[in-house]
Amino acid sequence: MKKDNPCHGCNDRHASCHGTCKAYLDWHEQHVQKQREIRSKIEAENRTNSFYIETGIRIKKEKRR
């Protein structure tokens, strides 16, 4: 697990500080944005892979005729 969030090793950490900690809120927004970018890239790759798989299946069926 990555330990790049600002809470790791923070001396001011306490229960429910995530709602008020400016450093955490900034980090969390960047983290969520990175996750969205990664997911969109994966979805694009899956669409491309799906296209090639479906095309291969269609061609294989056409050859059987």
pLDDT digits (tens, 9 = 90+) for 28-50: 999 999 999 999 999 999 999 99
- The answer to whether the CB of 7 falls within 8 A of the CB of 13 is yes
Asked whether the predicted pLDDT for residue 1 surpasses 70, the reply is no
Average pLDDT over residues 20-33: 92
Q: What's the pLDDT at 2?
A: 67
The end-to-end CA distance of the chain, in Å, is 52
- The answer to whether the CB of 8 falls within 8 A of the CB of 24 is no
Give domain status of residue 58, yes or no: yes
Task: Give the tokens for residue 11.
Answer: 């001396």
How does residue 11 score in pLDDT terms, banded at 50, 70 and 90? confident
As a whole number of angstroms, the distance between CA 46 and CA 52 comes to: 10
As a whole number of angstroms, the distance between CA 49 and CA 64 comes to: 23
Give domain status of residue 8, yes or no: no
Give the total number of structural domains in the chain. 1
Give domain status of residue 63, yes or no: yes
How does residue 4 score in pLDDT terms, banded at 50, 70 and 90? confident
